[in-house]
Amino acid sequence: MSDPRPIGLFDSGVGGLTVLDAVARRFPHEDLLYLGDTARLPYGTKSPETVKRYSTRAVAFLLARGVKAVVVACNTASSLALDEMIALSPVPVIGVVEPGARAAVRAAAGTTAPIAVLATEATVASDAYGRAIRALEPGRDVLHVACPLFVPLAEEGWTDNEVADAAAKRYLGPVAASGARVVVLGCTHYPLLAATIARALPAGTILVDSAAEAAATLVSTLPEGSWAPAGEEHGETHLLVTDASARLGRVAGRFLGREAAVLELVDLP
Supply the DSSP string of 106-144, one letter for each residue: HHTTT--SPEEEEE-HHHHHHTHHHHHHHHH-TT--EEE
Bridge partner list, 32: 7, 237
The answer as to whether 159 is a domain residue is yes
**Do 28 and 43 belong to one domain?**
yes
The string over 188-213, giving b where at least 16 C-beta atoms fall within 10 Å of a residue's C-beta and e elsewhere, is bbbbbbeebbbebbeeebbbbbbbbb
Count other C-beta atoms under 10 Å from residue 224's C-beta: 8
**Do 227 and 239 belong to one domain?**
yes
- Residue 158, CA distances (Å) to 49, 149, 192 in order: 32, 11, 9
Q: Which of 179, 196, 211 is the last residue of a domain?
A: 211
**Do 237 and 198 belong to one domain?**
no
* Among 37, 29, 105, 39, residue whose Cα is nearest residue 73: 37
**Do 236 and 134 belong to one domain?**
no
The answer as to whether 221 is a domain residue is yes
pLDDT of residue 259: 66
**Do 78 and 183 belong to one domain?**
no
SS3 content of the chain, % helix, strand, coil (to 5): 45, 15, 35
Q: Quote the number of domains for the chain.
A: 2
Mean pLDDT by 10 residues, the chain (269 residues): 90 89 90 92 88 96 97 94 97 96 97 96 93 97 96 89 97 97 94 95 96 91 81 80 79 72 82
- Whichever domain contains 106, its CATH number is 3.40.50.1860
pLDDT of residue 173: 97
Is omega for the bond preceding 42 within 30 degrees of 0, making it cis?
yes
**Do 83 and 69 belong to one domain?**
yes
Count other C-beta atoms under 10 Å from residue 225's C-beta: 8
pLDDT of residue 231: 67
CB 113 within 8 A of CB 81: no
**Do 14 and 63 belong to one domain?**
yes
**Do 103 and 206 belong to one domain?**
yes
Bridge partner list, 184: 117, 208
Residue 173 makes CB contacts below 8 A (sequence gap 6+) with none
pLDDT of residue 249: 74
pLDDT of residue 2: 83
Catalytically active residues, by annotation: 74, 187
Domain that holds residue 248: 7-96+213-265
**Do 90 and 171 belong to one domain?**
no
**Helical pair 128-136 and 97-107, crossing angle rounded to 10 deg:** 50
**Do 227 and 135 belong to one domain?**
no
